[in-house]
Amino acid sequence: MPDVAEKMVNQDAEEMVTMTYVEAITDAIRVEMQRDESVFVMGEDVGVYGGIFGATRGLYAEFGAERVRDTAISEAIIAGAATGAAVTGLRPVAEIMFIDFTTIAMDQIVNQAAKMRYMFGGKAMVPMVIRTPTGTGRGAAAQHSQSLEAWHCHVPGLKVVMPSTPYDAKGLLISAIRDNNPVIFIEHKILYATKGEVPRGEYTIPLSQAEVKREGNDVSIIATSLMVQRSLAAAELLEKEGISAGVVDPRTLYPLDKETLLRSVQKTNRAIVVHEACKTGGFGGEVATLIMEEAFDYLDAPVMRCAGLDVPIPFSPPLEKAVIPDENQIVSVVKSLF
């Protein structure tokens, strides 16, 4: 259930409607564009076409070309222009079509957007969001299927968000747009079609709050993005074998809600971290180290990681499926702790 801090900010928000994840993204942008004229959308094919995954569909017709801007095919330009617009008082919501292509914009993201507020002593705010799809499942091969969230988490000054449900996607995106810092908002391609109950109208989820998606007594599974859904499925399988697994979704990777993660581990005394990205250098290593440093005395077994293989993502669908965790792999890692 949402924390009380996840406040409903108008009466319309109390009505729940079924939306897909991508519809929740669109609705969040629409809500903020209606509320605040400084919010605008920019990116490749976000206008008339409505975005390659449909996340900006209908916004061009509603708000026009001034506030829904198609850009050149240059991620460096998108990130740089968004940074400049944010510093001068606007609130851009920029789309970079695949997270792989944030690599092309790293100077603008890492050396400009992430640093400006600090370097100007807090006098310059950079209220911008970069939305970007991540992950496998579309047969898009090695240059369009990576999970690079750990790169962005490594940069002080950036906030990094990875919602796993339509409810979280809308509430977190509204919070991200209202935040006065640059936010990397990472959406999984496979989650776009998933459905869930979402409040109509405005509501926010703090960019610092994890959620326990399932309570458990024997092991904590800390998972991100698509792996939250697979971890919940794994928990169902484990329940049949007498193992009670809790599933915790950080939702925001930076700033990380350490307290919720540690509280779960202190309860269960065992933990695994599940993510789609390659194991080496992945965000799971950060979480595992946090648990070892701050909850070591509670552990009855080592903290384990269940992550993608350290290989480029294959084009072949069977091979693509084989390189990232599934429910059975999560179950196997959990059982190794007992």
Query: What's the whole-number mean pLDDT along residues 122-127?
Result: 96
Average pLDDT, the chain: 95
Quick count: other Cβ atoms within 10 Å of Cβ 125?
17
Question: What's the N-to-C CA distance of the chain in angstroms?
Answer: 30
Of 111, 116, 72, 115, which is closest to residue 94 (Cα–Cα)? 72
- Calpha distance 257→262 (Å, rounded): 9
Enumerate the domain spans of the chain. 11-199, 211-335
What confidence score (pLDDT) does residue 129 get? 98
Q: What would the DSSP string read from start to end of 123-146?
A: -S----EEEEEE-SSS---TTS--
- Which backbone phi and psi does 163 adopt, to 5 degrees? -75, 150
- The domains spanning 11-199 and 211-335 adopt the same CATH topology: yes
Question: What are the CB-based long-range contacts (under 8 Å, 24+) for 64-69?
Answer: 66/40, 67/33, 67/39, 67/40, 67/41, 68/40, 68/41, 68/42, 69/40, 69/41, 69/42, 69/43
Of 144, 152, 188, 275, which one is the catalytic site residue? 144
User: Mean of the pLDDT values across residues 331-336?
Assistant: 98
Q: In CATH, what number does 11-199 get?
A: 3.40.50.970
Q: What is the pLDDT of residues 195-223, one digit of tens each?
A: 999 999 999 999 999 999 999 999 999 99
Q: Which residue has the higher pLDDT, 6 or 46?
A: 46
Angle between helices 327-335 and 226-240 (to 10 degrees): 60
pLDDT at 69 over 80: yes
Distance (Å, whole) CA 52 – CA 181: 26
- Domain 211-335: which topology? Rossmann fold (3.40.50)
CA-to-CA distance for 156 and 111, rounded, in angstroms?
A: 10
Could you give the angle at the alpha carbon of 73 between the alpha carbons of 37 and 141, nearest 5°? 115
pLDDT band at 2 (very low <50, low <70, confident <90, very high): very low
pLDDT of residue 8: 46
pLDDT digits (tens, 9 = 90+) for 143-179: 999 999 999 999 999 999 999 999 999 999 999 999 9
Q: How confident is the model at residue 3 (pLDDT cuts 50, 70, 90)?
A: very low
Is residue 144 part of the annotated active site? The answer reads: yes
What pLDDT, on a 0 to 100 scale, did the predictor assign at position 11? Answer: 41
Can you give the pLDDT at residue 13? 54
Q: What is the pLDDT of residues 315-330, one digit of tens each?
A: 999 999 999 999 999 9
**In this structure, which amino acid lies at residue 16?**
M
* Partner residues linked to 195 by β-bridges: 20
CB 221 within 8 A of CB 234: yes
